[in-house]
A and B are shown apart, each in its own frame.
Chain A
Amino acid sequence: MSEPKQPSRFPRELLASGKDARFAYFRRQCTVEHTNLKGALGELRRYIRRSLDRRLIAFVGPTGVGKTKLKEVLERMVIEETAAELDADPGRVPLASFNLYAPERGTLAWSDVYSSCLGSMNEDLVTQHGARPPSSDDGPARWSHRRPTTAELRETLKETIRQRRPKAIIIDEAQHLMQMAGSGKRLSVQFDNLKSLADHTQTPHILVGPYQLLPFFDLHGQLSRRSGFVHMPRYDAANPDDLRRFNSVVLAFQRLLPLEGEPDLLQHYTYLYENTLGCVGLLKSWLDEALDIALEDEAPTLTRKHLSRCVLPVTKLRRILLEIKDGEHLVAEEGLGRDVLLAELNIDPNPPDSGEITAPDGEAPAKQERGKQRRRAFERKPSRDPVGVPEEMRDQATPPDCTAPYATLGAET
C-alpha cells in the first residue's frame, strides 16, 4: 500500500471538545516526523543498537530545533523495542534519561549528576540514607548514616547501571556540564570522567545540547576516538530542498490545528521561516501560542494576526541565529579539514598517475569524492568560469590574458 501523500488531519470530533482539550491535543500529540528528525533518530538508534566503541555521543543542534522532542521519540522507540526483554527481566530498565539543571551557585557538582542519574533509575536508597564504603577485607571498615560522598555515588551508579542494564543514558541540557570547571584543562578531566564511566559501564551516554558541546569532544585524541556525533540541523533556506521540507512541516501543522477553518499557513511561509530560522521546534512553540490566542478569541481559523501577537523579538532571533551560525561553522569545519589531514599525513591530495580506487562493480565513486575534496575553501568550481578567448575577441591581434583575474585569486587563497 503506498504512503498517503497528504499529511493526516486532526480528528473532526475534537471540534466538539473544549478549548483546553483542543489545545492539549495540538501541544502534546502533534509531533511530526520530518526529514532531519528522522535522520538524527536513525543515527542515535544505530549507536544504541550496535553498542559500538563510541560510547560518548554528542547530539547537538540549534536551540529550538526539536532535540528534546526527538529524545522523547527515542525513549518511546527503545521501550517498544525492548518490550520482550523487559518482560523477561523485571530488574532491567530500558533507559536512564534525565535533565541537567543549571546549578544554583554557578558550578555543577558531579554528585548532582550522579544523584540525578540514579534517580532516573528509581535508585534512591543511597541518596536518602547514606552509603557504605566498598567491601574490604583489609581490617575493619566503619560505616555510618551520612550523606554519601561523590566517590560513593559514582560506585553506586556504576553498580546500578551494571544491574539495571539500560540501553543508554541520555543527559539533556548537557551544556551545563561546561559549568563543572573554570578552565579548559580541567574541563577535559571532567569529560574524561564521563568517558571512563561510559567505558566502564559499556553503556552509550548521549549528551543532548546545543553546539557549545562540540569543541569539548575534541579535547584530546582518546576522547575524540571514543565519542560520536549526531547533528540535527535546522532547515536552511539557501537550500531549495530544505525549504521544501520546511514547507511540508508547515503544511502538516496546518492540517493538525484543531480549528473549524484550516488556516493557510503556506502562504506565509517566508514569515514563518524568518521568525523560526528554520527550526521546527521554534515553529511548533510559536504555533502553540498562536493557537492558544486563536482559541481564546474564538476565532474560526488561525491568521497572521494571531501569529504576530506572539512572535519572538528580533533581538532574540538574532542572538539565536548567531549561535546557530557559529555552530554550523564548527560542523562545517569537519568537512573542510580533510585537506589539512592529508597534508599532515604527508599524502599528496593530487597524486600523479595514481591508480583509481574503484568499487567492485568497476565504477569509481571515490574519484568523484576525491575530486570534490581537492578544492579548497572559497575556490570556485572551474566549470563555472569560461576559459579561452571569448568569441568576440578572437579576431584581435593580441589575445588578452584571460587568466589574470584568477591568478590573483589563487594567490589570495
Chain B
Amino acid sequence: MKAVKPGPVEDLPAVHPLDTTRPPLPTRSRLFRLEPIGIGTPLVESLTSYVGRLAAAHHVSVGTLLAREILPLARGNNPVNKNEWMDGGHLGSVNGIGPLAQGWVDAVGRLTMRSDTRWTTMLPWDAITTFKGLLRPSRAWCPRCYGDFCSGGAYEPLLWALEPALACPVHRTPLQHRCPHCEADRLPRFSVRFRNGCCSRCDGWLGTHEGVQSPATDDAADPASLQTTLSLSEMLAAGPSFCLASQPTRQQLFAALRACARAAGIRTAEELAAAVSVHNATARWWLLSKQAPELGPLLRLAAHFGMRITEFLGGVLPTTPVTKPASAGPAKSPRSRKFTRRLFDGEAIRPVLQAALDTQTDTCRPRRRSAASTAGTLAPCICTCPSYAKHSRPSGQPTAR
C-alpha cells in the first residue's frame, strides 16, 4: 500500500455516529385484521363466520384457533375445559346476546384490534330481546348465496343464524338444513371442524356449483317467512346507524310498545296477544315491563303496527288504529292453549275406567293419548297426564298402544 499520510484531521470528511437501536414498535394485532363482511347491510357476517375466516387465513383449524387464542381470552382466568366446547353445543350461541357473546366479541376484538366485531352478533340489540327464540338450534344456509360468495370467499351472514329467519332475502327461497352430500340434518351451528360453506361432518361444499342447483333451492319461500326475514334483514342493516345514534334500551322498548298499542286502539293484553299470536300472559308481561319480547314476536309487533323495527323502537306511532287481527304470521304456538291443572282422585277414577274397559268399544281401547282424553271425558276430575294409561293399567287387560 502506498503510504499516504492522512493529512490534517480537519480535512478528513466528517463521520458521525448513527443510532441503530430499534425503536419500540406499537402493539401489533395477534391475528390478521380481517374486516367483517357486510357491516351495515342485511347480510352482515356472523361472529362464527368471522372466526372461521380468521382460522382459514391463518391456515389452522377453528379448534386450534379457539384453543390457542380465543378461549383463553374469552374465559379469562378460568382454565379452558375442552369438554365444554369440544361438543360445540354452546359455541353457536356466541352470535347472540349475553355474557358469552360479549366475552367472545371482546376476545376477538383484542386479538384483531378491531372495535367493530360486535356488529357480527346480536349484542347491539341485547336490551330489547331475549335468549329465547333468538338463535336457531342448528345450522341453516342458502346454497345459492354460497355459490355467489364463492368467488369472493364464502361466509355466513348473521341472518342465517337467527331463528325467525326462514328464507333467503336475496333468492327468496327457504334456507336449507340438510347436507346434500352426507344427508346430515341439524348440523351444529359452530364446531371445531367448522368451515365456511362446508359441512362440518363431511366437509362437502354446501353451495351450488355452476349450472347445478339442488331441487330444494328452486322452491319459493312462503310469504310470511319471507316478510319476517326481510324485516329482520332491515333490522340488521340498520344496526350500526340506529344503535350508535340511540342505543335502544328496554325501557324505551316498553314505552314504545305501550304507546303504539294505545295509538292502535289495543286496550287489553288479550287483544295484543291475539294480534301477534302469543300467549295472553306473555303480552301481559310485556305491558307490565317485566319481560322483553322474543325476536319473532317483536318483529310481528312492528309489522302489526305497520312500521319498521327501528321506527317502532324510535317512538314512531301508528297513524291509524289497527283493528284487523294479524292474519299473516306463523301459526299459534301450541303453548298458547289454556292449560289448567286439576286434582287427581285415583279412588274415584278406577271404577269408572274399569267400566269403560269392560264395554270394549273402539273409543275405549287404551292408547296413550286417547286414554287421557277418554279419562278426561269420563271423569272431569282426572289429571290429564298422558302417561296415566301406562302406569294405571288394570291387570290382564290388553296392552295400551
Q: Which residues of A contact B (CB under 8 A)?
A: 3-8, 28-35, 37, 69, 72-73, 75-76, 79-80, 86-87, 89-94, 122-123, 125-126, 128-132, 135, 137-143, 145, 148, 152, 155-156, 159-160, 163-164, 237-238, 240, 243-245, 247-249, 251-252, 256, 266, 269-270, 273-274
B398 contacts partner chain A, Cβ-Cβ < 8 Å? no
A3 to B16, CA, bound (A): 10
A31 touches B17 (CB 8 A): yes
A170 CB, nearest partner CB in chain B, Å: 13
Bitwise, B99-113 to A at CB < 8 A (1) or not (0) is 000000000000011
Q: How large is the interface on B (under 10, 10 to 19, 20 to 34, 35 or more residues)?
A: 35 or more
B68 touches A139 (CB 8 A): no
**Further contacts, 18 of them, CB under 8 A, given A86-B26, A156-B58:** A33-B16, A76-B20, A86-B25, A90-B26, A91-B113, A122-B28, A125-B59, A137-B197, A137-B209, A140-B203, A156-B59, A159-B58, A164-B32, A237-B1, A238-B1, A251-B9, A252-B16, A270-B3
A163 touches B59 (CB 8 A): no
Bitwise, B310-327 to A at CB < 8 A (1) or not (0) is 000000000000000000
Neighbouring B residues of A248 by C-beta, 8 Å: 12-15
Contact of A137 among B10, B69, B207 (CB under 8 A): B207
B333 contacts partner chain A, Cβ-Cβ < 8 Å? no
Q: Tell me the nearest residue of chain B to A123, going by C-beta.
A: B58
Q: Tell me the nearest residue of chain B to A269, going by C-beta.
A: B6
A5 to B16, CA, bound (A): 10
Neighbouring B residues of A69 by C-beta, 8 Å: 20
- Can you identify 6 A-B contacts, CB atoms within 8 angstroms? A7-B15, A8-B17, A37-B18, A69-B20, A125-B59, A137-B205
Bitwise, B194-208 to A at CB < 8 A (1) or not (0) is 010110001111010
B64 touches A125 (CB 8 A): yes
Neighbouring B residues of A33 by C-beta, 8 Å: 15-18
B33 contacts partner chain A, Cβ-Cβ < 8 Å? yes
Q: Tell me the nearest residue of chain B to A135, going by C-beta.
A: B56
B68 CB, nearest partner CB in chain A, Å: 6
Neighbouring B residues of A86 by C-beta, 8 Å: 25-26
B219 CB, nearest partner CB in chain A, Å: 23
A87 touches B26 (CB 8 A): yes
B56 touches A31 (CB 8 A): no
Contact of B33 among A5, A90, A132, A152 (CB under 8 A): A90
If A126-B58, A137-B205, A251-B12 touch, does A72 touch B22 (CB 8 Å cutoff)?
yes
Neighbouring A residues of B400 by C-beta, 8 Å: none
Neighbouring A residues of B57 by C-beta, 8 Å: 159, 163
Neighbouring B residues of A4 by C-beta, 8 Å: 14, 16
Most buried by A among B12, B22, B202: B12
A75 to B17, CA, bound (A): 16
A91 touches B29 (CB 8 A): yes
